[in-house]
Amino acid sequence: MKKILSAILAGAMLCTSALMFSACGGNASSTADSSKTEDAKVLHMATNAAFEPYEYVESNEVVGIDAEIAKAICDKLGYQLQIDDMEFDAIITAVTTGKADFGMAGMTITDERKQSVDFTDPYTNAVQVIIVNEEDSKVASKADLEGKAIGVQLGTTGDLYVSDVNDAKVERFSKGADAVLALTQGKVDAVVIDNQPAKAFVAQNPGIKILEEDFANEEYAICLAKGNELTAKFNTALKELKDDGTVDSIIKKYIKE
């Protein structure tokens, strides 16, 4: 009898602690949810850190123009910044599913992307350029891209543009550097990619060059989940950082011309 009683008692105690635990757990997780914007003060930035000078890894750290502008925005708004490196074509999904608070990756504002995310005001401009081998290239202009093998980074605007080129054989790589490698190995005839990373690739790989003729101008901006109130705060911070010269000086630190 005693045994049964103590078993019931122990059971009841277990129950109470289980209840307390779950109440606690429930509490903790609801704080964590609202913290995405207010309490925890950590904002997750989704990026693809293989895109010098905007984001790349140096001594195990993601550095570059985007990393520094993001840090300056977070500092201004009182958040800590956590940078999550992923494939470029995973960034928008990370943002729409709430895995990341924002995406910043030399990302061009496009109408198609605007259907799934909101963009801040642009923070800089870019152009898509064509990289070819210096010797014996079959491609000397945009028109020459017809029918050629063209390397791009998967899911980028470069990918989008060349998908419209007649009879082009588009080779999609998860990194721009792999597209450039394919070019130097003669596996593709050209690579279409953003101008600044293109310059970095040309500096690192002898024997390749950028053609004068380029594709349309683009604007880079930060993307956030649709309707996220942070977008307005980011825009205010970004405006202040543009007005006081911070954005310019960050860009000048990485792009010397």
88 binds ligand ARG (CB under 6 A): yes
Q: Please choose, from the candidates 127, 111, 130, the residue with its C-alpha nearest in 3D space to the C-alpha of residue 119.
A: 111
For residue 103, state whether it binds ligand ARG (rule: CB under 6 A).
no
Binding to ligand ARG by residue 189, rule CB under 6 A?
no
Q: How many whole angstroms separate alpha carbon 162 and alpha carbon 168?
A: 7
101 binds ligand ARG (CB under 6 A): no
What is the closest distance, in whole angstroms, from the C-beta atom of residue 49 to ligand ARG in the complex? 7
Query: Which residue do the tokens 């310059």 mark?
Result: 199
Give the interface segment with ligand ARG, choosing from 1-9, 25-33, 100-108, 184-192 (CB under 6 A).
100-108
Residue with smaller CB distance to ligand ARG, 76 or 142:
142
Q: Can you give the length of the chain in residues?
A: 257
Using CB under 6 A as the binding rule, whether residue 106 contacts ligand ARG is answered as yes
Distance CA(145)–CA(163), nearest Å, equals 11
> Which of 94, 105, 130, 132 is the binder for ligand ARG (CB under 6 A)?
105
The answer to whether residue 55 forms part of the interface with ligand ARG (CB under 6 A) is yes
Residue ranges of alpha helices (H) inside the chain are 2-35, 65-77, 91-96, 111-114, 157-162, 176-184, 195-204, 230-243, 246-254
Of residues 27, 91, 45, the one with CA closest to residue 234: 45
Cα separations in angstroms, 54 against 107, 197, 222: 10, 8, 12
Instruction: Identify which of residues 61 and 134 has a Cβ nearer to ligand ARG in the complex.
Output: 61
157 sits near ligand ARG (criterion: CB under 6 A)? yes
By CB under 6 A, how many residues form the interface with ligand ARG? 14
Which residue pairs from 58-64 have beta carbons closer than 8 angstroms and sit at least 24 positions apart in sequence?
Answer: 64/254
- Which one among 43, 46, 48, 201 touches ligand ARG, defined by CB under 6 A? 48
Does residue number 171 form part of the binding site for ligand ARG (CB under 6 A)? no
CA distances from 58 to 47, 79, 87, 143, 165 (A): 15, 23, 18, 37, 36
Q: Does 194 bind ligand ARG (CB under 6 A)?
A: yes
Q: How far is the CB of 205 from ligand ARG (least distance, A)?
A: 17
Residue 41 neighbours by CB under 8 Å, 6+ apart: 35, 78, 79, 80
- Residues 43, 53, 101, 108: which binds ligand ARG (CB under 6 A)? 108
Nearer to ligand ARG, 55 or 189 (CB): 55
Residues that bind ligand ARG (CB under 6 A): 47-48, 50-51, 55, 88, 105-108, 153, 156-157, 194
